[in-house]
Structure 1
Amino acid sequence: MKLNCRLKLIIAISLLVFASQLTTAYIIIRQSAESLHEKTHIHGEELATNLAEFAGEAIVSRNLASIYQQIQFAMRDNNIRHVVVVDPNQKVLVSDNLEEVDSIYPPEHIKKFYFNEKLDDNPHFIDRNGETIAEITVPITLADDLLGQVILGYSHTDINNKISNLNNHTLVTLLVGFAGAFLLTILLTSMITSPLVQLEKTALKISMGNFEIEKPDTNSNDEFNLLSQTMYSMAKRLEELVYNDPLTGLYNRQLLNIRLSEELARSRRHVRPLALLMVDIDHFKRINDTYGHLVGDEMLVAVTSLIAKHIREVDCLARFGGEEFIILAPDMTEINARQQLAERIRTAVANEEFNILPGKQNLRVTISVGLALYPTDAKNERELIAAADQALYAAKYSGRNQVRAYSELKDYLATS
């Protein structure tokens, strides 16, 4: 399945945000764990050091009971699991567990389980309750003589519980943060890719020959909007090249066919007539032969400009070919209105003096007009154009400079 640009951006940004948050969470948890271990270790060292300082005088004076009292005081700390005072030969002098007195420390059931944690260099072991115990050893000295050691064991359980809670809170924060970042990513990518999607749709419409695109906002000057404006201008230019006659600027035959199909569909839908007028400039070849094709081209432009002034805004004027033009006049229900439109155009051209030859006499031309009506005279586009063409031929055959309706020909053919 192909991923679109928006989805790719969402995935890429989401992965980047998630990786960043995950890295940050790992660093926070790691530093917090180290801080907790260090804090607990420092506290244990302080207890062991204080006890070692006290035990020196007590050992010399053989006041081991006072050492035991200090050990009991230290054991009030919930994290402390055992405190042992040994002589230089590791023989237990005082212990929180009186059964260990006079034994060698550490006992075999502990010794074989010693290991080192990565977070500190203290020896660790797993006790019979499954707890991880870290041991701190502080020497007992007096006047530079080694009298023994204080061995204090503290549990990691409280630390691990705090780290576990921190992990849970961090995970929840991570998920909430990622959800918010994901929604924000969707919003941002939508804002970024929305113009691209619109440009894609516009390009697709243009490629299919549909140039009816929305004009972009000219108040924005970002790159996407500038690209949209450029595409809009390009579309309009293409529309002119594809659908407009390059000489007169009128609709060409291709667009005429489209407009004719649309008007016929509308005529059928609303049950309204559609008049088609086919116009031909009389003796146009004579103008080309006498004055040249450039003058002939100027005459075409001048005549069509004049005709455009005498039709309605809803009417469609197009170049059919050569010196022939077609006018689509929808919704003309009155017979006289259709005839009057054709006569108005013919009269305007006949009365006009065209100033095309500078310094010379003005030129005059006339036009012939063939008129056909849908659905009276035809059932489809082709029949309607053919009917108007026959009416135009009749107008030219009858002497030119006149209007003939196809209905007259039908009446004539019916009576002949």
Structure 2
Amino acid sequence: MSEQLNFLRYVLTGKPNKEAAIGPRVRLQQHLDVSRAMHIMAFVTVFNTLIASYIAHTISGETLIFIWMLTNLVAAVFMAFDYVRKIGRPAPKSVSGRYVRRSESLAVFMGALFGSLPLYQTSDPFWSLVFGCLFMVSMCAGLMCVMPRNPRLVLRYMAGSALPLYLHMVLHFNDRMVAIAIALSLLLFTIYFGARQAFVLYLKEVKSVEEASQLRDILEVALEGSGQAFAVRAKDGSIVFQNELYARVKQVLRNVESTGGVAHALDRYWQMANYEVASIGSVEIFTDVTGIEDSRQEAESLRQEADEASTAKTRFLRSVTSELLVPLRTIRMQASMMDAGSRIPVTKADMNRAADQIRLLTESLEARVEQIIGYASGDATQEHTAASVNDLTSPDDNPVLKLETFIRRSLRTSSGS
């Protein structure tokens, strides 16, 4: 019921552009339909006028029929002129609706001209009315088929053409005229409901298109915000739709090779993916994975640093272990040289030098043990480790190696004596 009232208000109102259902898209479509259908309306008017005039004159023989024919042919010429005037013009992107409203107002006058046929036949009022009703109904039905998206024009043309018929019924009122009036009213109501249903379906289609456009805009904004460039391709490979980011990225990626599906362009990393859609074609998406790629490279760098630190730690521990073994062996050799069963002659000066060297050894051992403890607790650095390794490779500054050299020289002297 609400749709019926809304449609009736839309048909009867003076400025339909203020109706919520008549948005810019509908106004533009109505403008294009009317401007493109003017030549069809002119042709149909000329054809029906000539046929009706010929049949009416043949049956009645009245010459007033030619006056009716002339007025309708003049109206058809105006329609054709309006069409010719707009040929070659580019299709507008938006319209105000004045052209459609003017055409709807003229439709009442055009309909009255065509529906006035029975008024020009006075010999047989009943059959002239039947004859006029048949041509008027066919004319209105044809207009509804040609312009289903502009019911105001069709219904106003129908109202204009029905007024002379009802006037003819009033002038020649009888029971047969009442029967014709009832039948004509039923036909007019049928055309009205058909026009309403066609227009309601059209508005639903427009609403669906607008909702789809809004969803597409929302999807585009969401993908833009998430750093995704995408395009919809038809089955032949042509691009149906693409966002601005895709156009920039695709142009740069034409000469860039991808590694593992990831390519570098515009100072970003892009993950490429392609999805087949049976009813459309395919969807190509470039996803910005710069954060993921940076994290992966950072993790790889940290892993390499950890491997280097582990290698340095292993080298340090091996070096320090070797350095600890040297003084321990030296102390054992010194002890065997100075014990009661030793046959090596050792002077007091040698004993003093040995005691000094043993003290240096213990100090070196203590320092190395402290360094190992610090390294195990994480206080040592790679620089300390490198320094420790270098200490082992410089015998001039290593007291352990100096003491071992002294003991070996003493043992060789003792053996020679």
TM-score of the aligned structures, taking structure 2 as reference length: 0.28
TM-score of the aligned structures, taking structure 1 as reference length: 0.28
Q: Which of the pair is proportionally richer in strand?
A: 1
